[in-house]
Each structure stands twice: as C-alpha cells, then as structure tokens.
Amino acid sequence: MGSHRGDHDIAFFEAAVEETRKVTVTAAGLTQFPDADGPLTPGRYLIQAVGISAGQDCWLHVGQFAAGVALAPAIGPVVGGPKRFPLTTSVPAIETHVLSGYSDQMAFQLSAGANIVVYVTRVSTAIRSVAR
C-alpha cells in the first residue's frame, strides 16, 4: 500500500517561478500559443496583458492542444463562451491552471485597437516526489 501525502490534497501545485513567454497579440486575429513548442507544461500560470486601451478586450481562450489545430476565435456571433476570459484595463491579469489534455493550449484575440503584449508565466509545477 502506498503512502499518502496530505500536501497533495492541500496544494497539488507548488510555487516556483518557472519560465515566462512574451506573446505579441495583434489586432488582425487570433494568436495561438504555443503550437510549434507543443502543449503547455501542466502547472499554475499567471497571464498578464500589457498595453490594453480603454474599451479594448483581450480574450484568453484555453483548450486541448492538438498540433496544427487552432482554437476557435473568441470574437464573433458569440462573445466569450466556454474556457474564455476577457483581460481588460480593469482586470489585466488572471491566474489559471494548465491541465494536460484539457487546457494545455492558449489563444489570444483582441476585440479592437492596437497590438498588446501578453506575458505567460508558469508560477508553479506539480509537486515532485520526495524520496524518504
């Protein structure tokens, strides 16, 4: 019978600043992130939008990674929808979990206006096994 660590119940992910990626989101359409790099590593992520203007939304859309397959646009007949969140001047950042096979790809889309920069930082990883 295996041992059970209670910290897995309390905090599945442990804090550790990992990598940060800079994504330029253009007003031209949907910016996929990542694709050539493969799926995002599971963990907790901080997503920060810089340079958002008043009245401009940067839609974050998460979904299951599939190489060469784009996530659906967030702007159109249905604004928002499942697995989407607007980054705005009032709420320019969000923290979220990336789960393998569920939310390991992101896309960003501007509602209007000029380009912005989004920083995607992994701020935790799965708790590592500790030899005892």
Answer whether residue 55 shows pLDDT above 50. yes
Residue 116 lies inside a defined structural domain of this protein = yes
Residue 34 lies inside a defined structural domain of this protein = yes
> How much is the pLDDT for 64?
92
Mean pLDDT of 33-50: 89
More confident position, 35 or 87: 87
Query: Please, which pLDDT band fits residue 39 given cuts at 50, 70 and 90?
Result: very high
Residue 45 lies inside a defined structural domain of this protein = yes
> How much is the pLDDT for 46?
94
Q: Tell me the CATH number at 77.
A: 2.60.120
Q: Domain of residue 57: give its range.
A: 11-126
> How much is the pLDDT for 31?
87
CB under 8 Å to 41, separation ≥6 — which residues? 18, 98, 122, 125
Summarised one tens digit per residue, pLDDT across range 81-132 is 678 899 999 999 999 999 999 999 999 999 888 899 999 999 987 655 544 4
Query: Please, which pLDDT band fits residue 20 given cuts at 50, 70 and 90?
Result: very high
Residue 76 lies inside a defined structural domain of this protein = yes
Residue 119 lies inside a defined structural domain of this protein = yes
Residue 132 lies inside a defined structural domain of this protein = no
What is the number of domains present in the chain? Answer: 1
Residue 78 lies inside a defined structural domain of this protein = yes
> How much is the pLDDT for 120?
95
Summarised one tens digit per residue, pLDDT across range 61-81 is 999 999 888 888 766 545 556
Query: Please, which pLDDT band fits residue 16 given cuts at 50, 70 and 90?
Result: confident
